[in-house]
Structure 1
Amino acid sequence: METSERPTFETEAGEEIYRYVERHGTAARHRVRTVTSLPPETFQDALKQLKDRGYLEDDGGTLRVALEVGSVEAYSSDGFEYVVRPARQSDFEGLIDTIRDVTAEDTYIVAESIAEQLLYEDAVNRHNTAESRVFFVATVEGDVVGWSHLDLPQLDKLKSTAQLTVGVQEAFQGRGVGSRLVERALEWAEANGYRKVYNSVPTTNDEALDFLENRGWETEGVRKDHYTIGDDYVDEVMLAYTF
């Protein structure tokens, strides 16, 4: 299923099953059947319809939302190897740890809020009629070391723009990982019909501003005294990348 496609349902049973799986990231098939309290035949028919329409995937009894977000890509440079791929629910803890690692070193309030949202919802990717988000991760030997994230509004008047966050653990910076993650997110956004992607950072985060500006991002606005950091009021710089 494409993230630009709003899910619609043929039956109430199908909607109930989808909403439970989407809200939890992944869910065991038997758990969904128990929670929904649907008769076996009704449950089986509704689940089959969801899978046939490309809404859900069943991986050996584990159900997940089937979002088309791309392939796995491996990179190697001077003996350093890493992979960039769509995030999975199993990346949850590594993703949280990586976001916290990055935001502990640099002031990146939007990314901090994303981490809190992930913890509250306990789900990596979301796709429903109200909100949609996707994550890409960079991994080294299976461990998450970086991410890029797109928040995708579902309101019709905002559906051509998206918000991005990106970060790489300090130990893996300076090796092109961040650039690959941004490229992956922008390529996906362009391919899915978005015309502009935003990123907002405090004006005190010089490294983030330099990183984005060197890759074609332009400042579209500054919100005065938008953040309170310690005892200081700090401006927010709103940058955009236009396709």
Structure 2
Amino acid sequence: MGSTERPTFSSDASRRLYEYVERHGTVERHKLREYVSLSSDEFGSRLEELKADGYLEEDGGTLQIGFEFGAVETYESDDLAFAIRPGRHDDFDGLIETIRDVTDTETYVVAETVAEELLYENAVTRHNAVRSRVFFVATVEGDVVGWTHLELPQVERRRGTAEQTVGVREAYRGRGIGSKLLERGIEWADANGYRKVYNSVPVTNDRALEFLTDRGWDTEAIRRNHYAIDEELVDEVMMAREL
């Protein structure tokens, strides 16, 4: 399955299998078998078809969405080695902790919303006919220390733009991790036919605005009094980068 290809299915049974895994993030094979009313032969056939099409992946009897979007890249900065790779369901707890580490020290409302959506849906990757999202994570010795996230609307008239968030734990800033994450997301969007990425932050988040401006992003719009922060109305700055 291509990264932005909408899933299509040969049967209603295949669709139900895919949608169950997509909603739950990861599913053990035997639990999926219990969910659908199929014979063992048809279940096996439909599942193998979904795997062959790249819609599902199986690892040790656990199924998850097959959504390929890049390999592991490793970097060194001073005395620190870090890797950037596609996010997966195993990163769920680390992602939540990292996003909250960032939003505890600076106002980043969109990132807060992403964390709440992850908790509500209990799934890192989403890919259906309405919306998709992907994550790349930065890891140090296997622990998640940063992320970039792309929200990918599947509605035809909005499919050319992607919303991006990015953040790094405070203890790991100043090592170039945020820049590498930002560019990894932009490269993915560009390679998959997107024409623009945008990032929305409160006008009071000077660090984020400076970070994006220094990397070629432009202010596209300002929404007046868009956020209520500490009982004050605050403007939202919509930053964008054309691809």
Q: What's the TM-score once normalised by structure 1's chain length?
A: 0.99
Equivalent position of 2:150 in the other structure: 150
- Residue 2 of structure 1, CA deviation: 1.9
% of aligned pairs identical? 59
1:220 aligns with 2:220: yes
Residues 77 and 176 in structure 2, CA contact (< 8 A), matched pair in contact too: no
Q: Mapping of 1:115-194 within 5 angstroms?
A: 115-194=115-194
Equivalent position of 2:201 in the other structure: 201
Equivalent position of 1:11 in the other structure: 11
State how far apart, in whole Å, the 1-side matches of 2:223 and 2:213 are.
Answer: 18
Residues 55 and 65 in structure 1, CA contact (< 8 A), matched pair in contact too: yes
Q: Mapping of 1:27-176 within 5 angstroms?
A: 27-176=27-176
Residues 25 and 123 in structure 1, CA contact (< 8 A), matched pair in contact too: yes
- Residue 91 of structure 1, CA deviation: 0.3
Residues 3 and 127 in structure 1, CA contact (< 8 A), matched pair in contact too: no
State how far apart, in whole Å, the 1-side matches of 2:108 and 2:78 are.
Answer: 30
- Residue 37 of structure 1, CA deviation: 2.9
Equivalent position of 1:230 in the other structure: 230
Equivalent position of 1:240 in the other structure: 240
Residues 152 and 163 in structure 1, CA contact (< 8 A), matched pair in contact too: yes
Residues 13 and 42 in structure 1, CA contact (< 8 A), matched pair in contact too: no
SS of residue in 2 equivalent to 1:174: coil
AA paired with 1:80?
L
AA paired with 2:123?
A
Unaligned 5+ segments in structure 1 are none
State how far apart, in whole Å, the 2-side matches of 1:147 and 1:135 are.
Answer: 7
- Residue 3 of structure 1, CA deviation: 2.9
Aligned pair count reads: 243
State how far apart, in whole Å, the 2-side matches of 1:123 and 1:195 are.
Answer: 27
Q: Which runs of 4+ in 1 moved over 2 A?
A: none
Q: What's the TM-score once normalised by structure 2's chain length?
A: 0.99
Residues 160 and 193 in structure 1, CA contact (< 8 A), matched pair in contact too: yes
AA paired with 2:14?
G
State how far apart, in whole Å, the 1-side matches of 2:2 and 2:84 are.
Answer: 20
State how far apart, in whole Å, the 1-side matches of 2:101 and 2:6 are.
Answer: 34
State how far apart, in whole Å, the 2-side matches of 1:82 and 1:167 are.
Answer: 15
State how far apart, in whole Å, the 1-side matches of 2:2 and 2:147 are.
Answer: 21
Unaligned 5+ segments in structure 2 are none
- Residue 171 of structure 1, CA deviation: 0.2
SS of residue in 1 equivalent to 2:110: helix
SS of residue in 2 equivalent to 1:165: strand
Residues 152 and 162 in structure 1, CA contact (< 8 A), matched pair in contact too: yes
State how far apart, in whole Å, the 2-side matches of 1:183 and 1:2 are.
Answer: 21
- Residue 231 of structure 1, CA deviation: 1.4
- Residue 49 of structure 1, CA deviation: 1.0
